[in-house]
Structure 1
Amino acid sequence: MSVHEAGARTPFLTLPELRLAGGHLSWPEKTAGADTLTVDGLSLTMRRAEDGRLGPMPWSPGDAGQAATPHVALAAGPAPWSAVLGKLLLRKAKIQVEDHAIHEPARLELTPVDLTVEGVSSQAGASFPFTLAAALSAGGQIKAEGKVSALPALGLEAKLAVSDLPVATAQPYVHDWARVDIRDGRLAVEGDLTYSASDGLAVSGKGEVRALAVAEQGGDTPLVSWESLGVDHYDYRQSANELRISQITVAAPYLRLQVAANQTTNFNHLMVARAAPVPSASAPASVPASPPVVSVGRVVVAGGKADYGDASLPLPFSAHITNLQGEVAALTTTATSSSRLALRGQVGDFGQVTVQGRLVPFDPGRNTHVNLLFRNVEFPELSPYTVKFAGRRIAQGRLDVDLHYEVDGGRLDGTNRVVIRDIKLGDRVDVPGALDLPLDLAIALLKDDEGKINVDLPVSGNINDPHFDIGSVIRAAAADLLTNLVTAPFRALAALFDGADADTLDHIDFAPGRADLAPPEQEKIVHLAQALGARPHLALGIPGVVAPDADKARLQRDALDARMAQALGDHYTLEGQRQFLEALFSERLGADQLPALRQSFTRTPEGPPASTAKTLPAPAAVSAPALDEPGYVAALRRRIAKTEPVDDQALAALAQARAAAVVTALKQRLPALDEKRIAVRPAVTAQVGEDRLIPLKLDATSAGE
């Protein structure tokens, strides 16, 4: 038997042989059935037309197929007939599916298809065990086993197994949105499948895609590939419109990313621009279905590789990353929670890259915190970037980069910490737009005695601004750094010698009221003297410095202590100090204020318990008041010190004494120092720091000024 579509010569349904065995009919019981129904060699061709309609469907020909079938309410009447079939056998069937609704028509053939259904019945709620085995002509097997029900609604419970299915089967659909060719790849899936009219489809299980290789269309070089991508467990619920995956493990993945001369990537031209569908005038507008919410517990990467190339630079650049491994955890398409990143890999022969942090994958501007670290990367390989930036090649050197970026609400705040070791500049290259800076001087100021350069480049901006470019921001920050460096070299000088603190070398600290150099400041003098010796064109400006309030208070206390020490001589006891200070207090502040001050440091001890007091003699019942003599003497000293005379001339002398102390110490460390390279400047005022010290700020200038 064959069935043709109207006007078609080739049948879409062929039934070479159909056998019914053990049939029976009973009246008035109204039952009919058979033991077996066998269908051998069935051939069925299904097609999706360019307008998306499925066919051929002879039961709904022409435009009538678009009309909704009205629901007919059956009037109550005699009991309906019931039917049973012991077993349905579909053997060696062939099913062909053609899809013409995509740009490149797709064709899928299943053969042979073997289906067995047992215990088929028209009874409501009855379920029928079944087994299904099918093979794709392109390779791969599909097997299912379970039970199905038809009345009062379709229901299904089955175990599904797909093995060795070629991923290239999806090639025509991939071409609709990307210009890539699937060169290899095999899909395997195991799962439990259920369907009901109330809950829809539900599938759970595991799967794997092995040996995937995707290349640019018409090319042979892989674009994306992996040895295996395994899904540990997945759970899809149509009723919740949700797909949950516990873990995806990707073994030996590979990615090739190339930047063209026009600064587009190889992925830009791979994507196919798709026009929005034009709705039919006769068809009602439909609301597109929402994509399912997808969540992944984590993605584990092992043994990954990547190739990166940039042809947009004056000199071509390429980098090879190997041994990439790590994980991305807590992925979701809801864009409300952050995913964790932890990846590391090898760059070149001995370099390392590490990525850590968190971000919202589908909305990175919401909440992103990422650290990207490069260690021991060969700097000459980055010459294309230095040429574009500053017009110089890099002949030698290694690079460490620590990038930390935070994005919140589209606002980017980041730091770029760079360590360059053993750098040597190469040839100049004339590049339009490159910085015109004395890089040799900048490097000489930055490089320490171990051949290292440490640079911090903070960046910020709004990533939602269409004009924002992180590369331009970083280049601007580097340009500012180098520009400022040649005129303010103290940070570079601190890197010249071990132990020098870049944050403190530009000032010498003094204790209030003192002009002598403490041991930590003497160490700074050593480093400054070494810097002056190593940089013969460097000069220092040394101003006097004073913090009026703090210095005056200290000078007053020192003057009072000196006065008291001279007056008491060998009788510098606590009692002697009290008597001396009481006399001076009465003289300067008035004797009438002394009793109240003394009383504030006098304490009356608590007496003994009442029962004990009654039995004790009267003199022992109450103790005499006690004076807190150390506290009283300290209070006298504080009050009287404020009356010690210290004038502005004394403060000016202190300021100049501090400048002279620095000059003298430098000359002692560097006897051959030319006096023209040290300039004593007028005194300035300063604030006391958190360490309660007064900083004398040094000024670095050119010796020729």
Structure 2
Amino acid sequence: PVGGLASLTADVTWQSGQVQATVPTLAVESVALGRAAAPEVAWTGLQLRNLRLDTARQQVLVEHVGLEAPRARVQRNAQGRWMYEQWLQPVAGAPAKGRETVTSPAGKPWQVLVQDMELAAGQVELTDASLGDMPLAIRLSDVQLRMQNLDSVKGTAQAKLSARMAERTVRGGWGKPGSLSYDGDVQLDPLMTKGRVQVNALPLQAFEPYMGPHLNVRLVRALASFDGTVQFAQRPRGSQLQLQGQGRVTDVHVQSLLGDAQAAHAVQGPHAAAALAAEDLLRWKQLRLQGLRVSLQPAQPPHIQVHSTELQDFFARVVVLPEGRLNLQNLMKTAQPEGVDTAGAAAPAPAEQAPAASAAPAAPSARIDMGPITLQGGVIKFSDFFIRPNYTADLTALQGSLDAFSSQPTAPGEAPALAKLTLDGIAQGTAQLHIDGLINPLAQPLSMDVRAQVQGLDLSPLTPYAIKYVGHGIEKGKFSMDVRYQVQPDGQLTAANQLVLNQLTFTDPVEGAPTSLPVRLAVALLADSHGVIDLNLPISGSLNDPQFRIAPVVFKIIGNIIRKAVTAPFSLLTGAFASDDDKSDIAFEPGRASLNAQAQSNLQQLAKAMNSKPQLKLTLVGQANGATEAEGWKRAQLEQLMNGPKAESDDEAPPERSDKQKLAALKQAYRNTVKDRPRNMLGLAKDLPAEEMQALILRDMVIPATAWPDLAAARAQNVRDYLLTQGVDPGRVFLGNAETKAANPATPSVLLNISVQ
């Protein structure tokens, strides 16, 4: 002791070895224990009133105990030792631990009864330096404690406690304090309590040093409030807790300490890393929990109920790190023993694993029942450092709701019921975002039916993705989507992706890009006359398949569509991009240049597509091959000789020849073509049936050298003329050089080469 004044008045009676004493007043003032400059314990005044001691009854009764302005400095050093451990030095000759030195005659314990005990204007400073670089430092001030009917034997009392708590700031002062109070009954052994708790703006960041070893984030600020009742009882089988009331967590500010700094260092240099090392990760103005109930019972799963939840003015930072992980996946620190390389370590053999019987039983899963959740004033800032150059986008004005949901099914054997979700917001300042559907965040396994719509998203900011996947930047364009994702409890996913791109325009190929796809041609093939591309991309798969990933599947489908601009342009042009059967040629019968019914049908479809896409041009390459078409060419020539030449139009066409006229034409062709004609016994040319004359004509017919170029050109010309009759602009249809060595000689055709003007 470095100070203290005591005063005492007493009335003592001694009779037959028993003592009865009455102390009307006892005062101990201005006490300080510890160092003079900074005592560990001190108080202004301690008063006891009407203390009565009765050794016969082994009882001490105190009417009133008052302690004024007590102060305590509770400290723990870097080695983990509390300051009071230095006070309790062993005394030479003291009895060994566990030996009884005082025994009451009848084994009856002494009883201390205090009618009223009051502590006023107390203060406690707690410092814990054992936490490394972030010591804990909090102060409880204005501590008020009043206990009534304190019984040392029963261990019971009525207690009323209030205090203000503040944390030490980086500048060495104390922050704005929050308040806490408790009013209820207390039993010490076993510990039981029942009362009312009120907490207002308690600074949770004061306990941030305890979270530092486990989290890669810094809790800058968070104020907790609660108003409700609590019941706690320590039972032989375990603790019981009943908590009920209203809770709030306000002014939350969480900063990242690892993820964004690593990303910035890898992509933008060390200066950016230092700037982003304390970048905001989470913020919100208020999280309100109405009707909060927490129930803990021995050997039973915890039960948490929330009648309703409101989240206002919230912010979240979502980052894709250079290695492809989300920053939110790095919130927890992963502790690994030093010198142990877990990357290449093999899994232990089954024989090395502990028997299942010795494993500790798994804790029962908590039951959580959530009432409706409402969101207002949300902002999400997204950055992708996996893509180079980096991409950043903002979602603002987020608001929505989620109906009540539970982690428990409504009936045994069923999945937990889904809740209705609605969410609206603005993407990149202009695009409208709307999400609705059914989901249960607590359902295991995942099950949902959610639809998301985006209207009018500017595409030029997505240039980093375009460069990576197609090798071109985006000059301009708008994007809208309507997607629906359904996940069954068995993990089966069914997704419909309706994507609409308006006035999508790509830049020139980017030098050094990972790939370069014919996106300009693909856009021209897919866009309608108004410059709109409308794609429907269905997806299905199982989420239980570790190889199945939604985003890569979508990008693969889009990449395949773009590649078809080269491999199957006609299928893109006619909207059949889901088929691998490309119709990029018009087939002809061997040796003929006339269009059959199937060719005309295909050209009608092509003309319709061309008329809706004025930015396209078409080059026709006629093909012919004498190695496979000689017989067909001869038959076509013979038919023309018999039927007469065709007119340019139906109006100029001569009347169809009769059978007699056709036979006369056949005989004339026979005389002109067949030199070695069969003769009779008199040496005169024999009259042959029509079939034999046709066979001899075909045998002796000479194919001129120009037959195949002329046939190929005629085919291309006929295709061009037919397209013009269907309204295609002549300035967009070109005749290419005829080919007399077709790549596919088995199918005579005209190739359709599509390009962009």
Q: Give TM class, smaller chain.
A: 0.5 to 0.7
In the alignment, what sits opposite 1:202?
242
1:427 maps onto 2:508 in alignment: yes
Say if 1:472 and 1:94 are closer, same or farther in 2 by CA, change over 3 A: same
In the alignment, residue 117 of structure 1 is paired with which amino acid? M
Deviation per CA, 1:454-473: give whole Å up to 9, x if none: 11233455555665544332
Distance 2:372 2:322 in 1: 36
Say if 1:60 and 1:439 are closer, same or farther in 2 by CA, change over 3 A: same
Distance 2:309 2:176 in 1: 25
1:293 maps onto 2:366 in alignment: yes
In the alignment, what sits opposite 2:186?
149
CA shift, 1:113, in A, is 1.1
Residues 518 and 563 of structure 2 are in contact (CA less than 8 Å); yes or no, is this contact kept in structure 1?
Answer: no
Distance 1:474 1:289 in 2: 39
In the alignment, what sits opposite 2:520?
440
In the alignment, what sits opposite 2:609?
531
Distance 1:330 1:539 in 2: 64
Distance 2:362 2:142 in 1: 35
In the alignment, what sits opposite 2:203?
166
Residues 5 and 56 of structure 1 are in contact (CA less than 8 Å); yes or no, is this contact kept in structure 2?
Answer: no
Alignment identity in percent?
A: 21
Deviation per CA, 1:353-389: give whole Å up to 9, x if none: 2333455647886434443332210011212111111
Say if 1:666 and 1:429 are closer, same or farther in 2 by CA, change over 3 A: closer
Residues 518 and 565 of structure 2 are in contact (CA less than 8 Å); yes or no, is this contact kept in structure 1?
Answer: no
1:247 maps onto 2:308 in alignment: yes
Deviation per CA, 1:593-643: give whole Å up to 9, x if none: xxxxxxxxxxxxxxxxxxxxxxxxxxxxxxxxxxxxxxxxxxxxxxxxxxx
Distance 1:523 1:180 in 2: 66
Say if 1:8 and 1:329 are closer, same or farther in 2 by CA, change over 3 A: farther
1:178 to 215, 228, 234: 215
1:38 to 36, 44, 66: 66
Distance 1:463 1:273 in 2: 26
Deviation per CA, 1:230-258: give whole Å up to 9, x if none: 12232122325333223321111112223
Distance 1:429 1:404 in 2: 34
In the alignment, what sits opposite 2:131?
102
Question: Which ranges of structure 2 fall in alignment gaps of 5 or more residues?
Answer: 3-30, 91-95, 167-173, 258-273, 340-357, 410-414, 584-599, 623-718, 737-748
1:233 maps onto 2:319 in alignment: no
Say if 1:131 and 1:108 are closer, same or farther in 2 by CA, change over 3 A: closer
In the alignment, what sits opposite 1:586?
none
CA shift, 1:260, in A, is 4.3
2:148 to 118, 121, 124: 118
Residues 251 and 284 of structure 2 are in contact (CA less than 8 Å); yes or no, is this contact kept in structure 1?
Answer: yes
Deviation per CA, 1:176-203: give whole Å up to 9, x if none: 2334333444322222122223353322
Deviation per CA, 1:257-278: give whole Å up to 9, x if none: 2334444554466653334799
Secondary structure at the counterpart of residue 555 of structure 2: helix
Secondary structure at the counterpart of residue 530 of structure 2: coil
In the alignment, what sits opposite 2:280?
222
TM-score when normalising by structure 2: 0.59
Distance 1:369 1:76 in 2: 76
Deviation per CA, 1:166-222: give whole Å up to 9, x if none: 232132133223343334443222221222233533222112222222233475643
Matches within 5 A, 1:518-667: 529-531=607-609, 537=618
2:380 to 306, 321, 338: 306
In the alignment, what sits opposite 2:462?
382
In the alignment, what sits opposite 1:87?
116
CA shift, 1:225, in A, is 1.0
CA shift, 1:323, in A, is 0.4
Secondary structure at the counterpart of residue 554 of structure 2: helix
Say if 1:675 and 1:319 are closer, same or farther in 2 by CA, change over 3 A: closer
In the alignment, what sits opposite 1:213?
253
Deviation per CA, 1:638-660: give whole Å up to 9, x if none: xxxxxxxxxxxxxxxxxxxxxxx
Which segment is superposed worse, 27-36 or 379-388?
Answer: 27-36
Residues 564 and 572 of structure 2 are in contact (CA less than 8 Å); yes or no, is this contact kept in structure 1?
Answer: no
1:402 maps onto 2:432 in alignment: no
Residues 34 and 41 of structure 2 are in contact (CA less than 8 Å); yes or no, is this contact kept in structure 1?
Answer: no
In the alignment, residue 424 of structure 1 is paired with which amino acid? T
Say if 1:81 and 1:667 are closer, same or farther in 2 by CA, change over 3 A: closer
2:48 to 20, 31, 48: 20
Residues 446 and 487 of structure 2 are in contact (CA less than 8 Å); yes or no, is this contact kept in structure 1?
Answer: yes
1:477 to 542, 557, 560: 557
CA shift, 1:10, in A, is 7.7
Say if 1:317 and 1:356 are closer, same or farther in 2 by CA, change over 3 A: same
In the alignment, what sits opposite 1:608?
none
CA shift, 1:30, in A, is 5.1
Aligned positions, number = 534
CA RMSD in angstroms comes to 5.1
Residues 19 and 39 of structure 1 are in contact (CA less than 8 Å); yes or no, is this contact kept in structure 2?
Answer: yes
Q: Higher relative contact order by CA 8 Å / sep ≥ 6: 1 or 2?
A: 1
Say if 1:332 and 1:100 are closer, same or farther in 2 by CA, change over 3 A: farther
Say if 1:461 and 1:197 are closer, same or farther in 2 by CA, change over 3 A: same
